[in-house]
Each structure stands twice: as C-alpha cells, then as structure tokens.
C-alpha cells in the first residue's frame, strides 16, 4: 500500500471533525495499555510478569497471585498531569490537564492447600486501570487556504438541498441550515458554493477528553512446591470516554459576509467487556524466575452518543445555529497478548526483572451490535485496521534494591512500539516511560510511592488529510502514585 493510499484509508482515523463513524482509532484506543498500577508496579516499569506478589499482576500474569504467602489489602492513588504541545503551520500551542484518580485497589486471600505438593491456593479480587484518557489539546493555524467547509461542499454537491439533512446530518446538513453552504441557483438545487470560497482563515481546534479504561479482575492462583505457580484471571472491562471538540474559523477576508463560524462536537462512549488471562511462573533456581502469560481478546460492547452543532455569525444577517443528535451501539474485539518474563533475584538485596510483550493490533475487529440490526458489516473499517495497524514488540525493565530490610528504591523503563504500519503516519513514535520510586515494607504495613514520565509523539488532522497538513503533537505525561496496604 502506498503512502498516499494509507493516508486516504486513515482519513477517519487521523482527522478530527469528519463523519461519526467507528473506525480503527476505536480499536487502537481500547487495545493500547499504559503501565499503570500500584506504586511498586509503576516504579519498576510494569515488569512484573515473573515476580508476582502485586495486585497489578492480576492483569499482567495471573500466576503472580500464587507468590503471596500472606493475605493482602491495598489501595493506590494517583495524580496525573498531561502536557500536550502542538505544532501546526509553524504555530505552537501548549495545553495541560491534571487529575486525581484510583489506578489500583484489591484484596488477596491466602489459603493453605490440603493436597500433597500444593502449598497455597490464593484468591484475589481487584480493580486495575489500563488507560487514563484525560487530556487537553489546542491547535491553531493562521493563513490557511482551505476550510472544513470544503469537506462539506464535497459532500453536498450532487445532493438535492432538501435531502442534505438526511444524507449528511452531522456535516453538510448542518452547514446548509446555518447558511455556510448555499445553492448556486434555483435551477441547480444540487450544486453549492461555500461561504468561504478561497480563504485565508485562522483555524483553531480545542479538544478536551476524559474518562478511563480498566478492569475488575477475579483471580485464582496456586503454588506447587514453591517451584511452579499457576494462575487464571477473569477480567470484566469498563470503559468511559468523553470528548468535547470545538473547531472554529475566523479572521476571514473582510469582503466576505461571514464573520466567523464554530462547530462543536460532544461524544460520550461507555462500554463493558470480558476476557480471560492464563499464566505460569517457574522458579528455576534461587536466583532466576521465568514466566509466560496469555491474554485472550477482550470482547467489548460499546455505546456511542454524540451531539454536533454549528453556529455561524454573519456581519449583517446575524447568528444561525443548528444541532444534530446521534447514537450507535457496536462491538469491538481487541487482539490477544502474549507475555514472557524473567526475574533475577540478587540475594536478599535486589531484583532485576524484564518483560517482553507481543500484540498484533491489526487483529482487532469491529462488528455490529445485536441491538442494532442495520446489516452493516464494518468490512471497510476492518480492512483499514489490518492495513494501518501492525504488531508490536514491547519491553518493560525494572529493578529494586533493598537499602535496609524495610526500605527499597526502584527504577523502571517501558518501551511500547508505534502501533502504525510504516508510512501510515508522519510523526507517530514509540511510547517511552521512565519511572522511579521508593517504598517502606514492614511486617504488616507498607507504604510506597512512584513517579513515571511518559513521552509520545503523534499527529492530528483537523479534517480530510487529502486537503490539509497534519499537526504534530508531543505529549508528556507525568504521574505520581502512592500505595498503602496491610498484610495479615
């Protein structure tokens, strides 16, 4: 596939105000996980597949619960700050968004086994967060010689004006009802002109997103002769995603009757899903543990609701406004995950651990909901998923050192490869997370803290990539996590 063809296939993926259609961006949003969890997990970069003994391991390698020797109750709290820098037509803007949230909470019960060779059978229940969607973004460009109205004009031409509201209710229909599009003459009711025929304009997009993705995990694990640990997790996913986009065009040619216009789009997505996870840890020696885990695809049922409005301001005739509402139910199946891990135990003083994770994002899939019998098969969108998204090889590395028997320091690194095919984007990069932390672990009580910094470069099209250049987004997300717990 050529670069141009990939861009056209990804128009809905990378552009902001286009059609309200479910696409490969939705598949990626719910397949991409951040290294969130307890302070110990986050401070060590999430490299816990071969270690276990942590709530977050329920959603990474379920066998980790088998490592517990005592029951555990813990709560993690986090404060995040997401700074996004945009570059569009040599204009830079910076936006920040902060939030308090709960990345992890759970309890583990430890029970002695009665069968020969089996030491413990442990049961856990907890909540682990995978994504924090809070972000504020601002993009602005001056002297732009294209307009979003060009997209609506292309939609409208060839469609009779009295059918625009049915054919394009969230695009050309709104533009027609607010006089941003008009017919050339009464003799040609399917040919239109734009209120901004040539430009130039100042374009601005402000986006605010919020919400989260996580799962409630029901976990069971077992310890066989303190050598082999097994585990299984049944995960119930929850998703809540809200996005408000406000796009405007102003500073028009003074000879035009239009002063400015604004389009506002509010999207709300909620959903639930289910998956299973299986894992094992083998204690090869006193200093080496190795592990493997498999995560099934997550089957998600999602509901979208949205409200799109356009307001136009004309110099002489005044202000016009129109609103359209929509809703749709659909399903997404994410790709499977495969995780291998190793942990090196450095006597009683230190630990070095590493995880390797493989996921083929291109195997995600959209499908219709049983609640919606419209016959739509998502074949075009699923072809775009396979063409635009690729497999990644992700790495997490962590270390812990006991300064005293009760006090530890930690560090971590995580690399998540760019999930897009080569040539599909201009700017997208790998996501890199650096982390560090410290902790106190007494006989019954523990208190820990961690900080992680994640960097990611991506791109954003305000609308159709065929007629507009992308803006570059540089994201830096800092997160402070503290965990408190008791063991009994």
pLDDT tens-digit map of 95-105:
999 999 999 99
pLDDT digits (tens, 9 = 90+) for 313-364: 999 999 999 999 999 999 999 999 999 999 999 998 999 999 999 999 999 9
Instruction: Read off the pLDDT band of 200 (50, 70, 90).
Output: confident
E strands, 195-298, are 201-224, 228-250, 258-283, 288-295
- Assess contact for 86 and 137: CB atoms under 8 A: yes
pTM comes to 0.91
Instruction: Read off the pLDDT band of 426 (50, 70, 90).
Output: confident
pLDDT at 1 over 80: no
- Assess contact for 69 and 53: CB atoms under 8 A: no
Q: With DSSP H G I counted as helix, E B as strand and the rest as coil, what are the percentages for the chain, rounded to 5?
A: 15, 60, 30
Contacts of 348 (CB under 8 A, 6+ apart): 402
Which has more pLDDT, 184 or 281? Answer: 281
Q: How many CA atoms lie within 13 A of 270 on its CB side?
A: 3
What domains lie within the chain, and their CATH numbers? 3-147+196-487 (2.40.160.60)
The pLDDT value recorded for residue 11 is 40
Structure tokens at 288: 């080496």
Q: How far is CA 205 from CA 11, 176, 464, in A?
A: 17, 21, 14
Mean pLDDT confidence for 55-72: 94
Q: How far is CA 438 from CA 72, 259, 288, in A?
A: 19, 57, 23
**173 phi, psi to nearest 5 deg:** -60, -45
Distance (Å, rounded) from C-alpha 178 to C-alpha 164? 12
Q: Kindly give the pairing relationship between strand 391-402 and strand 407-416.
A: antiparallel
Distance (Å, rounded) from C-alpha 1 to C-alpha 7? 10
The pLDDT value recorded for residue 198 is 83
pLDDT at 236 over 70: yes
The pLDDT value recorded for residue 169 is 94
Instruction: Read off the pLDDT band of 22 (50, 70, 90).
Output: confident
Q: Which of 150, 58, 37 minimizes the C-alpha distance to 467?
A: 150
Instruction: Read off the pLDDT band of 10 (50, 70, 90).
Output: very low
| Radius of gyration for the alpha carbons in the chain, expressed in angstroms and rounded | 26
Distance (Å, rounded) from C-alpha 57 to C-alpha 92? 40
pLDDT at 3 over 80: no
Distance (Å, rounded) from C-alpha 128 to C-alpha 105? 7
E strands, 382-425, are 391-402, 407-416
Cis omega before residue 200 (within 30°)? yes
E strands, 315-403, are 318-333, 337-346, 350-360, 365-368, 391-402
The pLDDT value recorded for residue 6 is 39
pLDDT digits (tens, 9 = 90+) for 148-180: 999 999 999 999 999 999 999 999 999 999 999
**Cα torsion angle, 272, 381, 151, 157, sign:** negative
Instruction: Read off the pLDDT band of 4 (50, 70, 90).
Output: very low
Distance (Å, rounded) from C-alpha 205 to C-alpha 245? 7
**315 phi, psi to nearest 5 deg:** -65, -35
Distance (Å, rounded) from C-alpha 131 to C-alpha 29? 9
The pLDDT value recorded for residue 388 is 94
DSSP 183-206: EEETTEEEEEEESSSS--EEEEEE
What is the number of other CB atoms lying within 10 angstroms of the CB of residue 117?
A: 10
- Assess contact for 381 and 346: CB atoms under 8 A: no
Contacts of 105 (CB under 8 A, 6+ apart): 55, 74, 75, 76, 126, 127
- The overall average pLDDT reported for the chain is 92
- Assess contact for 462 and 468: CB atoms under 8 A: yes
Mean pLDDT confidence for 194-205: 91
pLDDT at 2 over 90: no
- Assess contact for 40 and 54: CB atoms under 8 A: yes
Mean pLDDT confidence for 436-450: 96
The pLDDT value recorded for residue 186 is 75
Residue 27 in 3-state DSSP?
A: helix
The pLDDT value recorded for residue 19 is 53
The pLDDT value recorded for residue 17 is 55
Mean pLDDT confidence for 464-476: 92
Alpha helical stretches, state H, 123-210 = 148-156, 164-167, 172-177
């Amino acid at each position: 596939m050529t670069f141009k063809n990939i861009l056209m296939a990804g128009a809905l993926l990378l552009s902001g105000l286009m059609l309200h259609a479910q696409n490969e961006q939705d598949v990626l949003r719910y397949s991409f996980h951040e290294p969130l969890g307890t302070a110990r997990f986050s401070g060590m970069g999430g490299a816990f597949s071969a270690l276990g003994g942590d709530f977050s391991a329920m959603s990474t390698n379920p066998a980790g619960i088998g490592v517990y020797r005592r029951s555990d109750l813990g709560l993690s709290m986090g404060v995040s700050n997401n700074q996004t820098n945009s570059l569009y037509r040599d204009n830079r803007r910076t936006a920040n968004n902060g939030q308090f949230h709960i990345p992890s909470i759970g309890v583990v019960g430890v029970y002695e086994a009665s069968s020969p060779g089996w030491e413990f059978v442990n049961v856990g229940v907890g909540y682990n967060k995978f994504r924090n969607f809070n972000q504020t973004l601002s993009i602005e460009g001056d002297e732009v010689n294209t307009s979003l109205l060009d997209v609506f004009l292309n939609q409208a031409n060839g469609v009779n004006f009295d059918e625009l509201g049915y054919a394009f209710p969230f695009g050309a229909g709104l533009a027609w009802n607010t006089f941003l599009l008009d017919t050339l003459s009464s003799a040609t009711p399917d040919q239109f002109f734009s209120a901004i025929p040539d430009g130039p304009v100042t374009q601005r997009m402000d986006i605010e997103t919020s919400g989260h993705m996580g799962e409630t995990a029901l976990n069971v694990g077992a310890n066989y002769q303190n050598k082999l640990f097994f585990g299984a997790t049944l995960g119930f996913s929850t998703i809540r995603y809200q996005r408000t986009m406000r796009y405007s065009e102003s500073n028009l040619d003074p000879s035009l009757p239009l002063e400015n216009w604004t389009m506002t789009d509010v999207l709300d997505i909620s959903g639930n899903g289910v998956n299973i996870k299986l894992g094992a840890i083998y204690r090869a020696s006193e200093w080496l543990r190795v592990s493997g885990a498999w995560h099934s695809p997550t089957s998600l049922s999602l509901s979208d609701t949205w409200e799109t409005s356009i307001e136009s301001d004309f110099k002489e005739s005044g202000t016009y406004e129109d609103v359209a509402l929509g809703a749709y139910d659909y399903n997404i199946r994410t790709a499977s995950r495969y995780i291998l891990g190793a942990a090196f135990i450095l006597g009683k003083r230190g630990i070095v651990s590493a995880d390797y994770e493989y996921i083929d994002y291109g195997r995600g899939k959209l499908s219709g909901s049983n609640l919606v019998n419209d016959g739509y098969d998502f074949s075009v969108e699923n072809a775009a998923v396979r063409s635009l998204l690729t497999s990644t090889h992700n790495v997490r590395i962590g270390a812990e050192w006991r300064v005293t028997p009760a006090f530890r320091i930690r560090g971590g690194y995580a690399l998540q490869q760019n999930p897009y095919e080569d040539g599909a984007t201009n700017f997208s990069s790998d996501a890199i997370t650096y982390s560090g932390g410290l902790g106190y672990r007494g006989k019954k009580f523990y208190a820990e803290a961690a900080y992680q910094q994640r960097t990611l470069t991506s791109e954003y099209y305000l609308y159709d990539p065929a007629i507009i250049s992308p803006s570059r987004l540089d994201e830096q997300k800092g997160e402070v996590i503290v965990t408190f717990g008791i063991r009994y």
